[in-house]
Structure 1
Amino acid sequence: MSEDPSPTVFLAIYIVTFLIRFPNSVLAFYSCIRKIHSKPIPIDIFMLNLTISDLILLIFLPIKMKEAADNMVWNMPFFMCHFDLFVYLLPIYSSSLFLTAISAERYVCIAFPVKYRSPKRIIYTIPICVAIWVLVTASAVFVYKTAYTDSGVADNTTKRQTQVIEPQRCYSDFTVKQLTELFPVLLSIAVVFFFLPFLTCCFCYINFIRILLKLPLIKRQRRLRAVGMALGTLLVFASSFAPYNISHLVGFITKENPKWRATALILSTINACYDPIIFFCISKEMRSAIKVCAKASFQIYAYLKS
């Protein structure tokens, strides 16, 4: 991946992601709210926050579409470039932590079933979600501030305009001062929001599968669905977030901004398309809602055809 794809490829990915994920995100949000209102459990609250994270990304994704349509030239007010950097990073960071929280919940559910059913557990879930949002917001702001650090050696043409990190492409050239301060920050971000969460997910889901396979009373179909969900989540986690975070590690080692970072970041955007699989496997209400929508769609199609 020595070069980024053309802006047309980025635009196509943004449009497909939006069209596929936005209706499912709204449906998942409705299903989570309905389930929490009737009988809340910790994993439903984590799923709700994951949905909110996806919706934040999708609501502001048209900004990225406009940028790609303009051949990666920023033709919008410059303050929106600042804002776009923040709202684009926020869901990426939060998604990894909420996926980790869901994996921990699945493991606790099967490893400690008695403690999992304790009504007191719901009390601790909300503070955990709040802590995650505070952490990701602070991290996104920190990266934002570092990326906008002024440099005394900057070109005269940039005195009135600051720089941002790729793939925003408002300005893609970094000063030496910016790179020096940005690389350690991005490496720390990669450790906190990918490497540690990924190891946690691996531990939780490997033990989840190991325990699940030893339980004889669970039906084979349900067991296979749970195992597939665990393996699928790990695959999605790795394929979506690994390339972008590895680019931070490469940048820290080589002291150069990887040219393929924008390509790696686009995989984190596609992650929004994978989350419906997780919702479908975990939530019975989500499966029922999808079936109702599918049935209604077929009925409408049959009516219009007749």
Structure 2
Amino acid sequence: MEWDNGTIQAQGLPPTTCVYREDFKRLLLPPVYSVVLVAGLPLNLCVIAQICLSRRALTRTAVYTLNLALADLLYACSLPLLIYNYAQGDHWPFGDLACRLVRFLFYANLHGSILFLTCISFQRYLGICHPLAPWHKRGGRRAAWLVCGAVWLVVTAQCMPTAIFAATGIQRNRTVCYDLSPPSLAAHYMPYGMALTVIGFLLPFAALLACYCCLARRLCRQDGPAGPVAQERRSKAARMAVVVAAAFAISFLPFHITKTAYLAVRSTSGVPCPVLEAFAAAYKGTRPFASANSVLDPILFYFTLHKFRRRPHELIWKLTAKWQRQGR
């Protein structure tokens, strides 16, 4: 741990002068982000292509999945800058605007994924528990697109302050891109960060758990419809519940726990720098798990939308045939 430019910690104020030694980021983040980029980019492009080529069979769940893949694709496109940044020892040469954009894309993808997964879960709950309800049948794909538009607006409003708080600064004679905010704004960022966790994670997570509790109770009942079609619907719902629960447990839960703890410690006065560094390392060590949702989401698509499963050569054949028709 170092002190920035030899300054000292002011009494009664949050410690804004600590400069962390985070060599682990150079070893951990570039390889993980590279894997997410190499795997997530083609997987999400494949999901988007398959859904777009199956427009006639586009269900509400497929609409939500398409928007989920678009969010993941936008985030994957920002990863090359982060890979270079951390490979160079946390050196950011791309300017303040790019810093703000990359941080915004990360949190927009994170909370967009949470909300679209919640929409998919709620849609599955309605399909299993209330399949004949008239309010469930109305709207169709049009209603799903309206919901997706509302989700994008909510996510943009939620995450826009991240682009305001994020900024570049100088540490150890090099330019860095702060993740949450500059240390001097830690106390100001704290209320927003906590509100984002509650509204952007805890509330959707509670709604998702409620849907799955009702869904599990319905699936366990023996008085439901019988037959292979009903059994397939139950199996598909159970698969989706397992995969979504795994996505939340792996990607979102550890990140939000460590982020909340770090925010609380960072905005508290008189905390020693080694303690701050430990909490910062725990929080930043879970960022790869949050990024992994860009790879887990296409897997969710594969397991839950059986009719969209295609062999790679079949998808390539369809794309080639379409391009040939357009070229004539």
The change in CA–CA distance for 1:162 and 1:278 in structure 2 (over 3 A counts) is closer
What CA distance in whole angstroms lies between the structure 2 residues aligned with 1:291 and 1:5? 40
**1:242 match:** 253
**2:84 match:** 66
**1:7 match:** 26
**1:49 match:** 67
Preserved contact between residue 4 and residue 263 of structure 1 (Cα < 8 Å) = no
What CA distance in whole angstroms lies between the structure 1 residues aligned with 2:176 and 2:79? 22
Secondary structure, in 3 states, of the residue corresponding to 2:151?
Answer: helix
Offset at 1:132?
A: 1.0
What pairs with 1:202-213 in structure 2 (closer than 5 Å)? 202-213=209-220
What CA distance in whole angstroms lies between the structure 2 residues aligned with 1:268 and 1:241? 6
In structure 1, the gaps of 5 or more residues are 167-171, 297-306
Deviations 1:81-117 (CA, angstroms, capped at 9, x unpaired): 2221222221111111000110000000111111376
Preserved contact between residue 46 and residue 98 of structure 1 (Cα < 8 Å) = yes
Preserved contact between residue 205 and residue 231 of structure 1 (Cα < 8 Å) = no
- AA at the equivalent of 1:9: L
Secondary structure, in 3 states, of the residue corresponding to 2:93?
Answer: coil
What CA distance in whole angstroms lies between the structure 1 residues aligned with 2:217 and 2:284? 37
The change in CA–CA distance for 1:224 and 1:113 in structure 2 (over 3 A counts) is closer
In structure 2, the gaps of 5 or more residues are 1-20, 269-275, 319-328
Give the TM-score normalised by structure 1: 0.80
Offset at 1:279?
A: 0.5
Aligned residues: percent identity?
A: 23
- AA at the equivalent of 1:19: V
Of the three residues 187, 190, 209, the one matched with 1:183 is 190
Secondary structure, in 3 states, of the residue corresponding to 1:113?
Answer: coil
Offset at 1:218?
A: 4.9
> Aligned pair 1:126/2:135, yes or no?
no
What CA distance in whole angstroms lies between the structure 2 residues aligned with 1:162 and 1:20? 27
Deviations 1:117-159 (CA, angstroms, capped at 9, x unpaired): 6252433222221111111112221122234599xxx99x99x
What CA distance in whole angstroms lies between the structure 1 residues aligned with 2:46 and 2:235? 25
- AA at the equivalent of 1:264: T
Preserved contact between residue 226 and residue 281 of structure 1 (Cα < 8 Å) = no
Rg bigger for which structure?
Answer: 2
Secondary structure, in 3 states, of the residue corresponding to 1:114?
Answer: coil
Of the three residues 208, 213, 218, the one matched with 1:201 is 208
Of the three residues 165, 186, 197, the one matched with 2:179 is 165
Q: CA RMSD in A?
A: 3.1
> Aligned pair 1:263/2:285, yes or no?
yes
What pairs with 1:223-242 in structure 2 (closer than 5 Å)? 223-242=234-253
**1:278 match:** 300
The change in CA–CA distance for 1:70 and 1:286 in structure 2 (over 3 A counts) is farther
Deviations 1:135-185 (CA, angstroms, capped at 9, x unpaired): 1112221122234599xxx99x99xx897325xxxxx7501xx11110110
**1:169 match:** none
What CA distance in whole angstroms lies between the structure 2 residues aligned with 1:249 and 1:86? 18
The change in CA–CA distance for 1:293 and 1:43 in structure 2 (over 3 A counts) is closer
What CA distance in whole angstroms lies between the structure 1 residues aligned with 2:46 and 2:115? 22
The change in CA–CA distance for 1:148 and 1:15 in structure 2 (over 3 A counts) is closer
**2:130 match:** 112
The change in CA–CA distance for 1:294 and 1:233 in structure 2 (over 3 A counts) is farther
**1:23 match:** 42
Report how many aligned residue pairs link the two structures. 281
What CA distance in whole angstroms lies between the structure 1 residues aligned with 2:60 and 2:316? 28
What CA distance in whole angstroms lies between the structure 1 residues aligned with 2:96 and 2:72? 25
Deviations 1:190-214 (CA, angstroms, capped at 9, x unpaired): 0111111111111112222321233
